[in-house]
Amino acid sequence: MDLLLIQSQEHDKLPLAELKAVIEVEEIETDLEVVCPGLVLLKSLDDSKFDDYYKLLVKRLGYTHEVHQVISTVDYSDIEDEVCSIDWSNYIDENFAVRVKRFNTEVDTVATERRVGHLILTNTEGISVNLKEPKSFIRVVAHQNTVYLCYGKYRLDKKYFELMKPHKRPFFHPGCMSPKLARCMVNLARVKEGDFVLDPFCGTGGILIEAGLIGAKVIGSDIDWRMKRGAATNLDYAGVTNYRTCVVDVREMKMYDEVDAVVTDPPYGISTTTCGEGTDGIFKEFLSSIEHSMKKDALLVMASPDSLDIDSLLDEVGFKLLERYSIKMHKSLTRIISVIAKIH
Protein backbone atom coordinates (compact mmCIF):
# COMPACT_ATOMS: atom_id res chain seq x y z
CA MET A 1 0.00 0.00 0.00
CA ASP A 2 1.10 3.57 -0.67
CA LEU A 3 0.83 6.88 1.16
CA LEU A 4 0.88 10.27 -0.56
CA LEU A 5 2.20 13.24 1.43
CA ILE A 6 1.58 16.88 0.68
CA GLN A 7 4.44 18.80 2.24
CA SER A 8 5.03 22.41 3.13
CA GLN A 9 7.11 24.30 0.58
CA GLU A 10 8.21 26.98 3.03
CA HIS A 11 11.70 25.45 2.97
CA ASP A 12 13.30 23.57 0.08
CA LYS A 13 15.00 20.82 2.13
CA LEU A 14 13.69 20.57 5.70
CA PRO A 15 10.29 18.92 5.02
CA LEU A 16 11.91 16.03 3.15
CA ALA A 17 14.81 15.76 5.59
CA GLU A 18 12.33 15.59 8.47
CA LEU A 19 10.32 12.88 6.71
CA LYS A 20 13.44 10.81 6.02
CA ALA A 21 14.50 11.12 9.67
CA VAL A 22 11.10 9.88 10.88
CA ILE A 23 11.16 6.99 8.40
CA GLU A 24 14.61 6.07 9.72
CA VAL A 25 13.85 6.30 13.42
CA GLU A 26 10.48 4.53 13.19
CA GLU A 27 12.00 1.87 10.91
CA ILE A 28 9.36 2.33 8.24
CA GLU A 29 10.18 0.11 5.26
CA THR A 30 9.21 1.92 2.09
CA ASP A 31 10.37 3.19 -1.30
CA LEU A 32 10.29 6.98 -1.16
CA GLU A 33 9.60 8.86 -4.39
CA VAL A 34 9.60 12.63 -4.68
CA VAL A 35 6.94 13.22 -7.33
CA CYS A 36 7.67 16.97 -7.41
CA PRO A 37 8.48 19.62 -4.79
CA GLY A 38 5.81 19.30 -2.09
CA LEU A 39 4.55 15.88 -3.17
CA VAL A 40 6.05 12.62 -1.89
CA LEU A 41 4.99 8.99 -2.33
CA LEU A 42 5.81 6.31 0.22
CA LYS A 43 5.43 3.12 -1.77
CA SER A 44 5.16 -0.60 -0.95
CA LEU A 45 4.30 -0.20 2.73
CA ASP A 46 3.58 -3.49 4.46
CA ASP A 47 -0.24 -4.02 4.71
CA SER A 48 -0.06 -5.30 8.29
CA LYS A 49 1.87 -2.21 9.50
CA PHE A 50 0.24 0.33 7.22
CA ASP A 51 -2.14 1.80 9.82
CA ASP A 52 0.59 2.13 12.46
CA TYR A 53 2.93 3.86 10.02
CA TYR A 54 0.14 6.16 8.88
CA LYS A 55 -0.68 7.18 12.48
CA LEU A 56 3.00 7.73 13.34
CA LEU A 57 3.58 10.05 10.39
CA VAL A 58 0.45 12.06 11.19
CA LYS A 59 1.47 12.32 14.85
CA ARG A 60 5.08 13.31 14.27
CA LEU A 61 5.60 15.43 11.17
CA GLY A 62 5.81 19.22 11.44
CA TYR A 63 6.44 20.30 7.86
CA THR A 64 3.88 17.99 6.23
CA HIS A 65 0.35 19.25 5.63
CA GLU A 66 -1.50 16.07 4.63
CA VAL A 67 -0.94 12.31 4.58
CA HIS A 68 -3.29 10.16 2.47
CA GLN A 69 -3.82 6.53 1.61
CA VAL A 70 -3.58 6.11 -2.16
CA ILE A 71 -6.64 4.20 -3.40
CA SER A 72 -5.74 4.33 -7.06
CA THR A 73 -3.38 6.06 -9.51
CA VAL A 74 -4.77 6.77 -12.95
CA ASP A 75 -4.32 8.89 -16.06
CA TYR A 76 -6.56 11.96 -15.95
CA SER A 77 -8.37 10.85 -19.12
CA ASP A 78 -9.50 7.64 -17.32
CA ILE A 79 -10.59 9.24 -14.06
CA GLU A 80 -14.35 8.70 -14.53
CA ASP A 81 -14.08 4.95 -15.27
CA GLU A 82 -11.69 4.53 -12.38
CA VAL A 83 -13.94 6.37 -9.90
CA CYS A 84 -16.88 4.16 -10.96
CA SER A 85 -14.85 0.98 -10.47
CA ILE A 86 -13.99 1.69 -6.80
CA ASP A 87 -16.16 0.44 -3.94
CA TRP A 88 -16.39 3.72 -2.03
CA SER A 89 -18.30 2.15 0.87
CA ASN A 90 -14.87 0.92 2.02
CA TYR A 91 -13.81 4.52 2.55
CA ILE A 92 -16.89 6.63 3.14
CA ASP A 93 -18.87 6.65 6.35
CA GLU A 94 -22.20 8.52 6.06
CA ASN A 95 -20.95 11.68 4.37
CA PHE A 96 -17.96 12.94 2.43
CA ALA A 97 -16.24 15.75 0.56
CA VAL A 98 -13.96 15.59 -2.46
CA ARG A 99 -11.18 18.12 -2.73
CA VAL A 100 -8.69 18.46 -5.58
CA LYS A 101 -5.13 19.69 -5.22
CA ARG A 102 -3.05 20.47 -8.32
CA PHE A 103 0.69 20.23 -8.93
CA ASN A 104 2.03 21.39 -12.31
CA THR A 105 -1.25 20.88 -14.14
CA GLU A 106 -4.12 22.92 -15.56
CA VAL A 107 -6.82 20.46 -14.42
CA ASP A 108 -10.08 22.26 -13.60
CA THR A 109 -10.31 21.91 -9.81
CA VAL A 110 -13.98 22.78 -9.29
CA ALA A 111 -15.25 20.75 -12.26
CA THR A 112 -13.20 17.72 -11.17
CA GLU A 113 -14.43 17.94 -7.57
CA ARG A 114 -18.04 18.10 -8.77
CA ARG A 115 -17.65 15.29 -11.30
CA VAL A 116 -15.85 12.90 -8.93
CA GLY A 117 -18.23 13.74 -6.08
CA HIS A 118 -21.26 13.12 -8.29
CA LEU A 119 -19.94 9.76 -9.53
CA ILE A 120 -19.15 8.60 -5.98
CA LEU A 121 -22.59 9.67 -4.78
CA THR A 122 -24.52 7.94 -7.57
CA ASN A 123 -22.48 4.72 -7.25
CA THR A 124 -22.66 4.35 -3.46
CA GLU A 125 -25.74 3.75 -1.32
CA GLY A 126 -26.56 5.56 1.90
CA ILE A 127 -24.07 8.42 1.73
CA SER A 128 -24.40 12.15 1.29
CA VAL A 129 -22.15 15.10 0.54
CA ASN A 130 -21.00 17.31 3.42
CA LEU A 131 -18.59 20.00 2.33
CA LYS A 132 -18.30 21.75 5.70
CA GLU A 133 -17.61 18.92 8.14
CA PRO A 134 -17.28 15.70 6.20
CA LYS A 135 -16.85 12.46 8.15
CA SER A 136 -14.84 11.08 5.24
CA PHE A 137 -12.38 13.04 3.16
CA ILE A 138 -11.47 12.10 -0.40
CA ARG A 139 -8.39 13.92 -1.69
CA VAL A 140 -7.73 13.95 -5.42
CA VAL A 141 -4.18 15.01 -6.26
CA ALA A 142 -3.47 15.88 -9.87
CA HIS A 143 0.14 16.02 -11.00
CA GLN A 144 0.64 16.65 -14.73
CA ASN A 145 -1.55 13.95 -16.39
CA THR A 146 -1.59 11.65 -13.38
CA VAL A 147 -4.30 11.59 -10.76
CA TYR A 148 -3.99 10.04 -7.31
CA LEU A 149 -7.35 9.13 -5.79
CA CYS A 150 -6.75 9.20 -2.05
CA TYR A 151 -8.48 8.64 1.27
CA GLY A 152 -7.62 10.83 4.25
CA LYS A 153 -8.12 8.30 7.02
CA TYR A 154 -6.03 10.09 9.67
CA ARG A 155 -5.73 13.84 9.55
CA LEU A 156 -2.92 16.04 10.82
CA ASP A 157 -4.12 18.57 13.33
CA LYS A 158 -3.62 21.65 11.16
CA LYS A 159 -4.61 24.02 13.97
CA TYR A 160 -2.05 22.67 16.46
CA PHE A 161 1.00 24.60 15.22
CA GLU A 162 -1.12 27.74 14.97
CA LEU A 163 -2.50 27.42 18.50
CA MET A 164 0.89 26.58 19.98
CA LYS A 165 2.65 29.65 18.55
CA PRO A 166 4.93 31.16 21.24
CA HIS A 167 2.83 34.28 21.90
CA LYS A 168 -0.28 32.15 22.47
CA ARG A 169 1.30 30.11 25.29
CA PRO A 170 0.87 31.30 28.91
CA PHE A 171 4.60 32.20 29.26
CA PHE A 172 6.19 34.23 26.47
CA HIS A 173 9.65 35.67 25.91
CA PRO A 174 11.11 37.02 22.66
CA GLY A 175 13.52 34.78 20.77
CA CYS A 176 11.41 31.60 20.76
CA MET A 177 11.40 29.48 17.63
CA SER A 178 8.27 28.35 15.86
CA PRO A 179 6.75 25.08 17.08
CA LYS A 180 7.04 23.66 13.54
CA LEU A 181 10.78 24.18 13.44
CA ALA A 182 11.11 22.88 17.01
CA ARG A 183 9.19 19.72 16.00
CA CYS A 184 11.35 19.34 12.91
CA MET A 185 14.54 19.60 14.98
CA VAL A 186 13.26 16.92 17.38
CA ASN A 187 12.53 14.68 14.40
CA LEU A 188 15.98 15.36 12.90
CA ALA A 189 17.43 14.17 16.23
CA ARG A 190 15.74 10.77 15.57
CA VAL A 191 13.92 10.93 18.91
CA LYS A 192 11.79 7.89 19.76
CA GLU A 193 8.96 7.48 22.26
CA GLY A 194 10.46 6.99 25.74
CA ASP A 195 13.83 8.61 24.87
CA PHE A 196 15.46 11.13 27.21
CA VAL A 197 15.76 14.48 25.44
CA LEU A 198 17.69 17.42 26.90
CA ASP A 199 17.48 21.12 26.04
CA PRO A 200 20.11 22.95 28.15
CA PHE A 201 18.99 26.40 26.85
CA CYS A 202 15.31 25.63 27.26
CA GLY A 203 13.99 29.22 27.39
CA THR A 204 10.19 29.08 27.27
CA GLY A 205 10.22 25.33 26.59
CA GLY A 206 9.27 25.27 22.90
CA ILE A 207 11.57 22.39 21.97
CA LEU A 208 10.71 20.44 25.13
CA ILE A 209 7.00 20.66 24.30
CA GLU A 210 7.50 19.18 20.82
CA ALA A 211 9.70 16.37 22.12
CA GLY A 212 7.24 15.69 24.95
CA LEU A 213 4.29 15.50 22.57
CA ILE A 214 5.89 12.73 20.56
CA GLY A 215 6.39 10.75 23.76
CA ALA A 216 9.92 11.65 24.91
CA LYS A 217 10.90 12.21 28.55
CA VAL A 218 12.20 15.76 28.55
CA ILE A 219 14.76 17.60 30.68
CA GLY A 220 15.12 21.36 30.33
CA SER A 221 17.56 23.71 31.98
CA ASP A 222 18.29 27.41 31.70
CA ILE A 223 20.48 29.91 33.52
CA ASP A 224 17.44 32.05 34.23
CA TRP A 225 15.02 30.81 36.92
CA ARG A 226 12.14 32.71 35.25
CA MET A 227 12.68 30.59 32.13
CA LYS A 228 12.78 27.39 34.16
CA ARG A 229 9.46 28.30 35.78
CA GLY A 230 7.94 29.57 32.52
CA ALA A 231 8.97 26.46 30.60
CA ALA A 232 7.20 24.32 33.22
CA THR A 233 4.06 26.46 32.89
CA ASN A 234 4.13 26.02 29.10
CA LEU A 235 4.76 22.28 29.33
CA ASP A 236 1.73 21.93 31.66
CA TYR A 237 -0.33 24.00 29.22
CA ALA A 238 0.67 21.73 26.31
CA GLY A 239 -0.26 18.62 28.32
CA VAL A 240 3.31 17.29 28.61
CA THR A 241 3.68 15.51 31.96
CA ASN A 242 6.96 13.62 31.73
CA TYR A 243 9.39 16.48 32.28
CA ARG A 244 12.03 17.91 34.59
CA THR A 245 13.24 21.52 34.57
CA CYS A 246 16.15 23.05 36.47
CA VAL A 247 18.38 26.11 36.70
CA VAL A 248 21.85 25.36 35.32
CA ASP A 249 24.54 27.56 33.77
CA VAL A 250 25.82 25.59 30.81
CA ARG A 251 29.35 26.86 31.55
CA GLU A 252 29.28 25.05 34.87
CA MET A 253 27.34 22.05 33.73
CA LYS A 254 28.45 18.81 35.30
CA MET A 255 27.28 15.52 33.85
CA TYR A 256 23.59 15.02 33.38
CA ASP A 257 22.34 11.46 33.14
CA GLU A 258 23.30 10.35 29.66
CA VAL A 259 20.55 11.38 27.27
CA ASP A 260 19.38 9.94 23.93
CA ALA A 261 19.30 13.34 22.21
CA VAL A 262 20.11 17.00 22.78
CA VAL A 263 17.96 19.46 20.86
CA THR A 264 18.61 23.10 21.54
CA ASP A 265 18.61 26.72 20.43
CA PRO A 266 21.48 28.50 22.24
CA PRO A 267 21.40 32.29 22.65
CA TYR A 268 22.84 34.36 19.79
CA GLY A 269 22.89 37.59 21.77
CA ILE A 270 20.20 39.11 19.51
CA SER A 271 16.90 38.76 21.40
CA THR A 272 18.15 36.40 24.11
CA THR A 273 21.00 37.08 26.47
CA THR A 274 24.30 35.22 26.48
CA CYS A 275 24.82 36.51 30.04
CA GLY A 276 27.93 38.53 29.28
CA GLU A 277 29.67 35.73 27.37
CA GLY A 278 30.44 36.15 23.64
CA THR A 279 28.27 33.97 21.37
CA ASP A 280 31.24 31.85 20.28
CA GLY A 281 32.30 31.45 23.92
CA ILE A 282 28.87 30.11 24.91
CA PHE A 283 28.82 27.68 21.97
CA LYS A 284 32.34 26.48 22.74
CA GLU A 285 31.61 25.87 26.42
CA PHE A 286 28.29 24.26 25.60
CA LEU A 287 29.77 21.87 23.02
CA SER A 288 32.60 20.75 25.27
CA SER A 289 30.36 20.15 28.28
CA ILE A 290 27.42 18.50 26.50
CA GLU A 291 29.41 15.72 24.85
CA HIS A 292 29.76 13.87 28.20
CA SER A 293 26.01 13.94 28.77
CA MET A 294 25.17 12.17 25.52
CA LYS A 295 24.88 8.43 24.96
CA LYS A 296 27.24 6.94 22.37
CA ASP A 297 24.74 7.14 19.51
CA ALA A 298 22.91 10.25 20.70
CA LEU A 299 22.49 13.09 18.23
CA LEU A 300 22.77 16.80 18.93
CA VAL A 301 20.53 19.04 16.83
CA MET A 302 21.12 22.72 17.36
CA ALA A 303 20.43 26.09 15.86
CA SER A 304 23.15 28.70 15.41
CA PRO A 305 23.51 32.02 13.58
CA ASP A 306 25.26 31.81 10.19
CA SER A 307 27.75 34.43 11.38
CA LEU A 308 29.26 31.82 13.71
CA ASP A 309 31.65 29.18 12.39
CA ILE A 310 30.90 26.13 14.51
CA ASP A 311 32.84 23.62 12.40
CA SER A 312 36.20 24.26 14.02
CA LEU A 313 34.52 24.00 17.44
CA LEU A 314 33.00 20.64 16.49
CA ASP A 315 36.39 19.23 15.50
CA GLU A 316 37.96 20.38 18.76
CA VAL A 317 35.32 18.69 20.88
CA GLY A 318 35.02 15.40 19.01
CA PHE A 319 31.77 15.87 17.16
CA LYS A 320 31.06 15.32 13.48
CA LEU A 321 28.52 17.08 11.33
CA LEU A 322 25.91 14.84 9.65
CA GLU A 323 23.41 17.28 8.12
CA ARG A 324 23.07 21.04 7.80
CA TYR A 325 20.22 23.33 6.71
CA SER A 326 19.96 27.09 6.57
CA ILE A 327 16.82 29.14 7.11
CA LYS A 328 16.64 32.83 6.30
CA MET A 329 14.71 34.36 9.21
CA HIS A 330 15.04 38.05 8.33
CA LYS A 331 17.54 40.51 6.87
CA SER A 332 20.02 40.19 9.71
CA LEU A 333 19.59 36.55 10.74
CA THR A 334 20.03 33.27 8.88
CA ARG A 335 19.63 30.31 11.20
CA ILE A 336 21.71 27.21 10.66
CA ILE A 337 20.30 23.88 11.84
CA SER A 338 23.02 21.27 12.33
CA VAL A 339 22.62 17.55 13.02
CA ILE A 340 25.71 16.42 14.89
CA ALA A 341 26.98 13.04 16.15
CA LYS A 342 29.72 12.01 18.56
CA ILE A 343 32.90 10.60 17.07
CA HIS A 344 33.33 7.27 18.83
Ligand X SMILES: C[S@@+](CC[C@H](N)C(=O)[O-])C[C@H]1O[C@@H](n2cnc3c(N)ncnc32)[C@H](O)[C@@H]1O
Site residues (vs ligand X, CB under 6 A) = 175-177, 201, 203-204, 206-207, 222-224, 227, 249-251, 265, 267, 272-275, 282
Tell the smallest beta-carbon distance from residue 271 to ligand X (Å).
7
- The values of phi and psi at residue 135, to 5°, are -75, -30
Half-sphere exposure (CA, 13 Å, Cβ side) for 75? 2
For residues 156 and 246, what is the distance between their CA atoms, to the nearest angstrom?
Answer: 33
For residues 191 and 170, what is the distance between their CA atoms, to the nearest angstrom?
Answer: 26
314 DSSP assignment: H
Which lies closer to ligand X via its Cβ, residue 224 or residue 260?
A: 224
> 3-state SS of 97-162?
EEEEEEECCCCCHHHHHHHHHHHHHHHCCCCEECCCCCCEEEEEEEECCEEEEEECCCCCCCCHHH
Tell the smallest beta-carbon distance from residue 25 to ligand X (Å).
21
3-state secondary structure of 11: coil
Tell the smallest beta-carbon distance from residue 267 to ligand X (Å).
4
Tell the smallest beta-carbon distance from residue 105 to ligand X (Å).
40
Which lies closer to ligand X via its Cβ, residue 66 or residue 224?
A: 224
Which lies closer to ligand X via its Cβ, residue 98 or residue 313?
A: 313
Which lies closer to ligand X via its Cβ, residue 123 or residue 288?
A: 288
Query: Among 27, 342, 8, which Cα is nearest to 161's?
Result: 8
For residues 62 and 157, what is the distance between their CA atoms, to the nearest angstrom?
Answer: 10
Interacting residues of 176 by C-beta distance below 8 A, sequence separation 6+: 166, 203, 204, 206
Tell the smallest beta-carbon distance from residue 176 to ligand X (Å).
4
Tell the smallest beta-carbon distance from residue 266 to ligand X (Å).
6
Which lies closer to ligand X via its Cβ, residue 142 or residue 186?
A: 186
